[in-house]
Amino acid sequence: MEQDYYLKPTADVKTRFYPGQKNTYGLPPGPGGSCRGATTTKGGCWNIPVGRKLQTCYVAGVMNFRPAVKGLLEHNFSVLKSAETVEGMTAVLRAEFQRFKDTEIRRAARTQQPAFLTYRIHWAGDFFNDDYARAVGLAIRDFPEIKFWAYTRVWSVIPILKDIDNLILYMSLDRVNVNRGLLVYEDNGGTTNPNLRYCYMSRENNFVDHQEFLTPILAGRNRVREIMGSKRLDSGWLTEQALRICPVDAGKLAHESGCPTCGRCLSADKTPVWFES
């Protein structure tokens, strides 16, 4: 699995179920990398706040302190872009997911423990084009026994990925993209789709400001639906659920295996999450 045409997976501290488990891969962050939905103005993920030297995105810090990580991410990006077509990228992804599945099944047999078949798409980076998102969707569907989850700021991929049974897809919101993002969430059946979620990334939990701004907009959209003879949508979803903070960010859980220990982002719980960036 060391050939140049394979992805190089990562044993991410937060997402792994046990030390050494490689259940994710990354791509280069930022608008110069794979993140075409990166937000660069104040409050955005790729903004450099006053008094800081690096972007808000945590991956910028990781690459700064561990320079070898950049090469790893760039390798994966190169492999996928070199595959060029949906079919080619799907083959690359299938090979990685098959490696993961085989590794977990072998470990389960050896240790007499369960196979931890949970995989995060992108610990770093995002869906760099829609064909790549289609390839991810095709590959995921080929492994229904694996539970996948992903975060994205690219709204064009939501219709492509939102109805895959074994993928939990989070729309990653911040103070820059939140208003548009929540409207896209509603337009894609977010209130009724069990697999589509959203999270909010901000230094402070000021989500209520966006709720107040969007509430009359949602009401106006419903009035248009009435005029057009369409079904009204219940807009209560915006205000009825308070955000819950990620327990790792809150210091209530250790960073090591924080995601599997908590498990709520992987469960049926659609309560929005606040990540303290």
The rounded distance, in Å, linking the Cα atoms of 24 and 29 is 15
- Residue-level pLDDT at 64: 82
Element (H, E) at 122: strand 118-124
- Residue-level pLDDT at 235: 83
pTM, whole model, 2 decimals? Answer: 0.92
- The pLDDT tens digits along the chain (277 residues) read 445 679 999 999 999 999 999 999 999 998 999 999 999 998 888 888 888 888 888 888 888 888 888 999 999 999 999 998 999 999 999 999 999 999 999 999 999 999 999 999 999 999 999 999 999 999 999 999 999 999 999 999 999 999 999 999 999 999 999 999 999 999 999 889 999 999 999 988 899 999 999 999 999 998 998 998 888 888 888 888 789 999 999 999 999 999 999 999 999 889 999 998 7
17 within 8 A of 118, measured Cβ to Cβ: yes
Query: What is the rounded end-to-end Cα distance, in angstroms, of the chain?
Result: 35
171 within 8 A of 152, measured Cβ to Cβ: yes
- Residue-level pLDDT at 67: 84
- Residue-level pLDDT at 3: 54
- Residue-level pLDDT at 4: 67
Phi, psi of 147 (to 5 degrees): -95, 125
